[in-house]
Structure 1
Amino acid sequence: MPRLFPRAPHFPDDGGAEHSVWRALRDHLPDDVVVLSGVDLQDGDVEREIDLLVAWPGVGIAAIEVKGGYIRRVDGEWRQGSGEREHRIDPVDQVQDARHRLQGYLRAHGYGAGAARTVHLVAFPHVAVPDTWGTIDLPRAMLIDRADVESGAGVVSRVRHAVTQHGQGRRPLLPDDVEELVEALAGGFPSQVDNLVAASMHESHSDQLTEAQARILEVLGQQQRMRVIGGAGSGKTWLALEQARRRAKAGERVALLCYSRGLGRYLQRVVDTWPRRERPVFVGLFHDLPVEWGAARGADDDPDHWERRLPLALAELAAARPAAELFDSVVVDEAQDFGDLWWPSLLRCLRDPDEGGLFVFMDDAQRVFPRDGRAPIELPPFVLDENLRSTKQIAQTFSSMADARVRPRGLDGPPVRMVDVPQDAAIATADDCVEILVDEGWPPGSIALLATGRRHPAQVNEVELGGYQAYWDDFLTGDDVFYGHVLGFKGLERTVVVLAVNGFHDVERARKILYTGMSRARSLLVVVGPRALVEEVGGEGMRRRLAGA
């Protein structure tokens, strides 16, 4: 006997129609099948109900609408009853709409069942329908009639045939999909509470692990040049901050640099909380240093200015400054973003270009910009091979794209969700996912929606209205959903990341962009976009990790 939810449903007063179909399913379906009765769907202000829902492992999902009594079709319309009690009904549109809404709900929540073959059927238990009958909107294979119900096994045969021949979806229903479906439709609130509690526990655990990384600086404290290589979430930014703080506290003039605006603002906000004697004298973007020393800022759409002229100007400005205004040490976070031309100019900013302190923290897997600069450090790098930031589920997903082995050190968390939609629907669907997450109880300030291609309209609007500093300050305040782009979010993180895979401007770097975007999530990752594209870019390892998503 299949599993029944609920075990003893309350059936409507329809002459026993729905009960008879349920009984046929109960008596003839295999033991691993699930039958749910009276599945209520609330989509905005629209309410729908699926009379009977069959979840069949290895086959798919069937939504069944049951209509009892005398049913006939006249002039393209369905009619129920007779005489004065006859009225128009629309069972096909009714169950088809409910089925679409169910699939949308499952996909938006990242349930694997959203990708399974799913079909809708109509059942007329009191009407005999010829086998030769059928319409364009209701093939005979999708209609259960009196003969099917009376035989019992006929209902089961009709359901299986309808799913396999007419079901929409890319694959059969997996056993794990069934359990998620039951939890989603027959379970409820407690599992989401568990997710939120697990997220809180994971973030406390991550903080403790990151602080333990400070022992690395103690081991390497006597080095004047150090290159630290680590995957996403390995604690590089924390180490860069701590190295800059320790050098400043020891009395050195220190510069703490990066390339991305968001990370630069984050570094500034963190440093502002330190005692003055522990603060570097310069914290911010590489390109802001020459501007602070007198160079022209230039236009955002002039790449030659940023890639060549401004770095060269930094060397000239450094040569003209008194030694007292140069630095004893320079710390660079996300150093893989720097171009080859930038490093000689940066060394000129040291009081001792040959022996002064240079400490770089980098991840070659996140080379998302078209630069291939190499830090001028000859010593072997110190390698961080543990992911401290993300849950095991997230770390195992994005690390399948890493060149080197990454050991997840995070706690268990909710599964990665995959919402399979066309590329041009990724942003709109990601917006829907954000609403669902907030409804689930995730605080808005814990969620970041990141695009891989064209920027989200909300990001464009916020930057145009308030400028970049206000935009990033709003992110760091953490009061609301953040809308950003993967390229600008490097070095940053949020509890929940909704990654909208809406294309790639640089196809050759698509894999690195996907890796970077996924690795921004600490506790929950929701990937929205074409599954086929994500698996093509991510490779076989990604396909395996997303098999049940």
Structure 2
Amino acid sequence: MIPSYFLPGTPPGEQELHRALADADGTDDWTVLHSLAIAEHVKKPEGEADFVVIVPGRGILVIEVKSHLSLDYRHGVWKLGNDAPTARGPFKQAGEAMHSLRQYLLKKHVDLRSVPVLSAAWFTAIRARTMLPGSPEWHDWQVLDSEDLRNGAAAAILRTFKAGLAHLDQTTHVAYGGVSFDEAAAQRVALLLRPHFEAGVVAGDLRRAREDQLVHFVEEQYEALDSMADNRSVLFTGPAGSGKTFLAMEAVRRELAQGHRGRLLCFNRLLALSLTADMPEDRALTVGTLHRQLLDIAGVEPPADPLPGFWNEELPELAMEGVVEAGEDAAADFLVIDEVQDILTEPYLDVLDLMVKGGLGSGRVLYFGDFERQAIYDDGAGRELLRTRMPHLPTRRLTMNCRNLPRIGHIVNKFSGLNPGYQKFRRGDDGMNPDWQAYRTGSDQTPLLLDAIRKLREDHYQLHEITVLSPLAEGSAAASATDPWLRQILQPVTGKARRKGVLQYGTIQAFKGLESPAVVVTDLNRKLVPGFESVMYVGLTRATDRLYGIIENDTLRAVMEGKL
């Protein structure tokens, strides 16, 4: 499928057909070009073919797609949905595009005498095969419809080829004498046509399409926003990538718009830096980690070598004293807490209770948490503690994966033992599987890391769009890379805006709550990583589009055999 994605604004019918063909079985040797620009059109200064399907042994099929929910054809005039009536119907559009491409290929000295070049119209929302009357303006085999989309797009295309070839065999002025169109010839045709497409869609378009997909709400998120408006407190739960942080930021913006003063808290320092950069500068808003805000309230700085109980016990007590001393000024109108699963302890909840007007019981508090496998700092008792403290807290569960492409989500299910796992994905499949490279314990992973970076750059990912993550805080593959070029471009993750030409690396634990277009996860050895499945879950879900894993031999074998 070229391209492997569709841009924002693509008609819904083209999106459906794009997904159907990308997922179709038995099409490994097919090439499908979507939205192919035609610079030399037979009737217009320029034109476009919605889909061009190139199938070895069959031929070339040009498809015009119509997404309209209604169709009216009378006296040679087409009325599609709310469009203006026109005499230039979908079959004429498809035929003109077909003849334009045929002329172009002939100019490029492609021998089409034994290559069927056909056209068809696909009505993706209606049963056009039963609705449309017979007409000398088109053949029955040129009509494809919603039932074909539902029952198998590839099968419908093969049916069209079969009937179209039979028609050509009966046409006296076209002597095919059988199809002579092998895989090499099909690839040549695709390569001749593809530059027309690639001239208009470059890596920058891919990035903009990805960003547009990631920042729009889905229906269940709108319902979640309604829950915020209808209840003083709500717990939003869902696996990684379900849009919790995005909703948390939107909740804060809505509170600020109403003139309220409050705090946006999280556990992870890098996430806090990212939130600070993304949220508006407003004197009524404080953004940061829970620990940083407790330090500010208490008016203290952490000791150089804090004892184990400083963060979990001593600091909350000092902050409570600071809240009491500050009086009403310390209590905010609202609290929005992201990563709540990592801060659910009695001392933290006690001080949070004082930090919002009305307390946790009746104050404006919105919690966002992942209780699947992301609570890697929790013993599992946090959710129960929250239920005990707030037994009537409304809960809204988010289920749609809005971040990861489907193949990444499916591999997360397998590698992390997520149950029931991701089932629904907002983004369409682009046909690219995560890539796994195995290494032996103690061996240098640098060559494998270099290979992953090379492949990503060939796939048009820039260095600043790639993040290398490891479960190891010290001695990771990135930190100990032996290649001079890698050592020059690798820099630790900062949480700030990424600079071009810099390849960032960090720990999986520190990167919680963040995401990257492409992620390379290294040092995946279950014997060296406590809570391996939970750490894998966090690490793999950071990738929005491309995922590479460098994994120890025995660990990979255990994953594949389901024996983690």
Pick one of 243, 264, 273 that aligns with 1:265: 273
The reply to whether residue 218 of structure 1 matches residue 226 of structure 2 is yes
Match of 1:323 in 2: 328
Is the alpha carbon distance of 1:457 and 1:308 closer, same or farther for their aligned partners in structure 2, counting shifts above 3 Å? farther
Distance 2:508 2:212 in 1: 25
1:352 to 345, 349, 358: 358
Q: Is the 8 A contact 1:318 1:349 kept in 2?
A: yes
How far did 1:530 drift?
1.8
Could you tell me which of 443, 449, 461 is aligned with 1:430?
449
1:44-443 equivalences under 5 Å are: 201-209=209-217, 213-271=221-279, 274=280, 276=282, 280-293=284-297, 294-299=299-304, 302-341=307-346, 342-353=348-359, 354-364=361-371, 365-372=373-380, 373-374=382-383, 375=386, 376-378=389-391, 379-400=393-414, 401-406=417-422, 407-413=424-430, 414-425=432-443, 427-428=445-446, 429-443=448-462
Partners of 2:507 and 2:218 in 1: CA distance: 25
**Cα gap change, 1:437 to 1:256, in 2 (>3 Å):** same
Distance 1:292 1:223, change over 3 A: same
2:261–2:334 CA contact under 8 A, matched in 1: yes
Quick one: distance in 2 between partners of 1:295 and 1:505? 39
The 3 A distance-change label for structure 1 pair 411 and 524 is: same
Deviations 1:70-108 (A, max 9, x none): xxxxxxxxxxxxxxxxxxxxxxxxxxxxxxxxxxxxxxx
1:287/1:350 Cα in 2 relative to 1: closer, same or farther (>3 Å)? same
Alignment-mate amino acid for residue 247 of structure 1: E
User: What is the deviation of 1:208?
Assistant: 2.4
How far is 1:395 from its partner?
A: 1.1
The structural deviation recorded for 1:222 is: 2.5
Give me the identity figure in percent. 23
How far 1:303 sits from its partner (Å)?
3.0
Is 2:515–2:543's contact at 8 Å kept on the other side of the alignment? yes
Q: Normalising to structure 1: TM-score of the pair?
A: 0.57
Aligned-pair distance for 1:307?
A: 2.0
Match of 1:519 among 530, 541, 546: 541
Question: In 2, Cα distance between the equivalents of 1:284 and 1:321?
Answer: 20
Cα deviation, 1:468-500, whole Å, max 9, x if unaligned, reads x99525554565211011000011001000011
CA distance in 2, matches of 1:520, 1:310: 31
- Deviation of 1:528 (Å): 0.7
- Contact 1:388–1:409 (CA<8 Å) still a contact in 2? yes
Judging by fraction of residues, say which structure has more helix.
Answer: 1
Higher mean displacement: 299-308 or 331-340? 299-308
Q: Aligned-pair distance for 1:344?
A: 1.6
Aligned to 1:487: 509
| Unpaired stretches in structure 1, ≥5 consecutive residues | 1-178, 462-468, 543-549
1:56 corresponds to = none
Alpha-carbon contact 2:470-2:521 (below 8 Å) kept: yes
Q: Which amino acid aligns with 2:405?
A: T
Match of 1:500 in 2: 522
Give the drift of 1:360: 0.9
Q: Name the counterpart of 1:167.
A: none
User: How has the CA–CA distance of structure 1 residues 328 and 497 changed in structure 2, closer, same or farther, with 3 Å as cutoff?
Assistant: same
2:471 equivalent to 1:452: yes
Return the offset for 1:357: 1.3
- 1:100-126 Cα deviation digits (max 9, x unpaired): xxxxxxxxxxxxxxxxxxxxxxxxxxx
The answer (yes or no) to whether the contact 1:236–1:361 under 8 Å persists in 2 is: yes
Distance in 1, Cα, partners of 2:464 & 2:337 = 28
Give the alignment's Cα RMSD to 1 decimal: 3.7
